[in-house]
Structure 1
Amino acid sequence: MPTIDWLENHMTYCDTFARWVHQQFHYEFEDLPLAQWQQEFAEGQRNDRWKCLIALDHDQLLGGAALATDDLSSRPDLGPWLACVFVTPSARGTGIAEQLIEGIGSHAQDVGIKTLYLHTSDQRAYYAKRGWTEEEQFKAWGKEQWIMSRAIR
């Protein structure tokens, strides 16, 4: 069973996780070099702009998910956001993503957030099965995208 904890308590993994996110969602980072993103993401652990939960199996990083204050510049009216959800290929299908997402949701509830948002191009069904609702469709980065939301109870 992996350990789920805040990245701020394990900053040695910060650059690695930021690199994974930068690679996975490369189309969102076309104008943001990796080193700049790594610095922004590390600062986000201290200023809560990218508050990230990670999954660890002893000293092996398995994945993470973040609570972001702003994850879609075209929609500054929405937020906060579930963002940067990524699990290593070898750990997929084990429920880690769901644990991370629920951890972000629990934290959101603890700090009084009423609604979380996310945007996705290919995981609508996954999130819908977990209580997320489609809000709107838009096109960005050359792909159809969906904004989804979930009420926090």
Structure 2
Amino acid sequence: MSPQLAWLADHLHHSDRYAEWIHSQFSYEYAQQPLADWQREFAAGQSNGDWPCLVALDDEQLIGGAALARADLALRPELGPWLACVFVSPDARGQGLAERLIEGVCQEAKDRGWPRLYLHTQTQRDYYAKRGWQVLENFQAWGNEQWLMVRDL
């Protein structure tokens, strides 16, 4: 049976764990924010519209997710909404799960009437480019080159 996709707001008991994965995976972005603070912000974001997250559950076990963020890049506050917090646990990779999650977030954004989504990535530019995302610009942040990308919905 393939993993089920659901909104984290309906499975909030997984929120702290997912926030922990993101805090660890993208530690360069969260260097100034203690984990507990991020966990509180992320959990609140499931109901206030800041970080609604689509998660993948395999028999109620959390194995991945992706968020539809209101804002995700302080350098570009005029842009949004964003695809953010994309993560699949290592033992669940290679099954197209990230792509399902990304498409689910894109569909939700489209259903809400948004014409495009943005993302920024440090290492996955080619992955997203193969899936219809276009590079808007590259920039320096968190001590590395980053890519700002957009996808029309």
Given the two structures, how large is their TM-score scaled by the length of structure 1? Answer: 0.98
Give SS of 2:33's match: coil
Give SS of 1:138's match: strand
Between Structure 1 and Structure 2, how many residues are aligned?
Answer: 152
List alignment gaps of at least 5 residues for structure 2.
none
Q: CA deviation at 1:77?
A: 1.2
Q: CA deviation at 1:59?
A: 1.9
List alignment gaps of at least 5 residues for structure 1.
none
Q: Tell me the distance in 2 between the aligned counterparts of 1:53 and 1:32.
A: 23
User: 1:91 maps to which residue?
Assistant: 92
1:144 paired with 2:125, answer no
| Identical aligned residues as a percent | 59
Give SS of 2:74's match: coil
Cα deviations across residues 30-51 of structure 1 (Å, max 9, x unaligned)? Answer: 1110000000000000011001
Q: What's the Cα RMSD here?
A: 0.5
User: 2:29 maps to which residue?
Assistant: 28
Q: CA deviation at 1:151?
A: 0.2
1:126 paired with 2:132, answer no
Cα deviations across residues 9-58 of structure 1 (Å, max 9, x unaligned)? Answer: 00010000000000000000011100000000000000110010000000
Give the AA of the match of 1:76: P
Give SS of 1:26's match: coil
Q: Tell me the distance in 1 between the aligned counterparts of 2:9 and 2:97.
A: 19
User: 2:57 maps to which residue?
Assistant: 56
Q: Tell me the distance in 2 between the aligned counterparts of 1:78 and 1:109.
A: 16
Give SS of 1:53's match: strand
Q: Tell me the distance in 1 between the aligned counterparts of 2:145 and 2:94.
A: 25
Give the AA of the match of 1:81: W
Give the AA of the match of 1:130: R
